[in-house]
Structure 1
Amino acid sequence: MPSDDDLALADEVSGQLIRLVRLMERKHAQYQADHPDAVERATYLLLVHLVKDGPRRAGTLAEAVHSDPSTISRQVAHLVRLGLVERTTDPEDGRATLLVATDEGRRVFEENRRVRIERIAEMLDDWPVEDRRKLAELLARFTTDFANNALKPRPAEAPPAPPVEATAGGSRSLPG
């Protein structure tokens, strides 16, 4: 069982993570407002997977991003309309369709990646190199542990014991 100090530190980390996510959401919303053709973050994640992992079937893509096929279908349709993804016949099974990032999709991915990396480099520019390395190391460790912990089934918690009523002859449990 974690100590009170462990829980207080976890609360501080949790609070900072919540703050970071909110700041990122706000920044993304501002970007969306400034760029009407921008792709939603969840939809962009599909493009990222297709660029990094290569052509995939929609079902495999849905599994990779932990989403349901109907959501993926709608998001892929949007990427196809934008010319960032195309549907092709699966060479191994002519009845199936593969989703493939287009040249434009790869260009958009690389441009977004470049801008993100440059912004982070600018933010960290006045940090000592060792601090930047340590941040990268700790973030990698944290995200790995987070992913692994999220995949573990949590043990079922025991229901709370019924309240005990004091009686003259001892104590007895009250009915729930």
Structure 2
Amino acid sequence: MADQEQDLAVAEELGYQLVRLLTMVGRAKAQFSQATGDGIERAAYALLAHLVREGPKRITALADAVHSDTSTVSRQTSALVAHGLVERTADPEDGRACLLVATDAGRGTFDRARAERTKHIAAVLADWPVSERRTLVMLLDRLNTDFENYHPLGEVR
């Protein structure tokens, strides 16, 4: 088999494995949403996580950071604001603009969700040797970075 054919065969198998992974992650997220019953969309948790980890952001910067459109992020952050998990504050660099900031309640919600997620991931990987877990983290980081930097149509976000 030629190198290009081998590359495509490996890429096809990886694609299949990624679909399996995303399906399982989706199932786990759905179960988590049912368990919390807080009425917050799953996607909104990603916004909250970003604000907790990265700090205050304008809505356009947050949308760029999570690779989403501003209108969707605006709707989702409005729900987070309504639940008291995020607040809008004046941007000190431009008083006409506002920053989205995680509240103490938002940070607590994020910390609880992260702890729960971590507990489940640890259970899934419990039988893996530590070296393989570290290798998985390293390779996923590399894969995510490469996906973030890949622009098939030449467009840059």
What is the TM-score with the length of structure 1 in the denominator? 0.79
Call closer, same or farther: CA 1:12–1:73 in 2, change over 3 Å.
Answer: same
Is the aligned partner of 1:153 residue 2:141? no
SS at match of 1:3: helix
* Residue type of the alignment partner of 1:129: V
Equivalent position of 2:38 in the other structure: 37
1:1-42: CA deviation from partner (whole Å, max 9, x where unpaired)? 853332222211110100110111122122223332152222
Who is 1:11 aligned against?
A: 12
In structure 2, relative to structure 1, the CA distance for the partners of 1:122 and 1:108 (3 Å cut) is same
1:117 is matched with which residue? Answer: 118
Which shows bigger deviation, 113-122 or 14-23? 113-122
Distance 1:26 1:101 in 2: 27
8 Å contact kept, 2:33–2:42: no
1:97 alignment partner, SS class: strand
- Deviating more after overlay: 98-107 vs 117-126: 117-126
- Residue 50 of structure 1 corresponds to 51
Residues 87 and 102 in structure 2, CA contact (< 8 A), matched pair in contact too? yes
d(CA) in 2 for partners of 1:12, 1:24: 18
The answer for the alignment partner of 2:72 in structure 1 is 71
* Code of the aligned partner of 1:120: I
Larger radius of gyration: 1
* C-alpha distance in structure 2 between counterparts of 1:43 and 1:13, whole Å: 28
Of the two structures, which has the highest relative contact order with CA contacts closer than 8 Å and spacing of 6 or more? Answer: 2
Distance in 2 (alpha carbons) for counterparts of 1:66 and 1:92: 24
Identity of aligned residues (%): 52
- Offset from partner CA, 1:58-105 (integer Å, 9 cap, x none): 121122122222212211110011110011112222222111100000
Per-residue deviation at 1:135? 1.2
CA RMSD of aligned residues (A): 1.8
Q: Deviations over 1:129-150 (max 9, x none)?
A: 111121112111222222222x
Report the counterpart of residue 102 of structure 2 in structure 1.
Answer: 101
More helix by share: 2
- State the aligned residue count: 153
Runs of 4+ aligned residues of structure 1 deviating over 3 Å after TM superposition are none
For structure 1, list consecutive stretches of 5 or more residues without a partner in the other structure: 155-176
Distance in 1 separating the partners of 2:14 and 2:66: 25
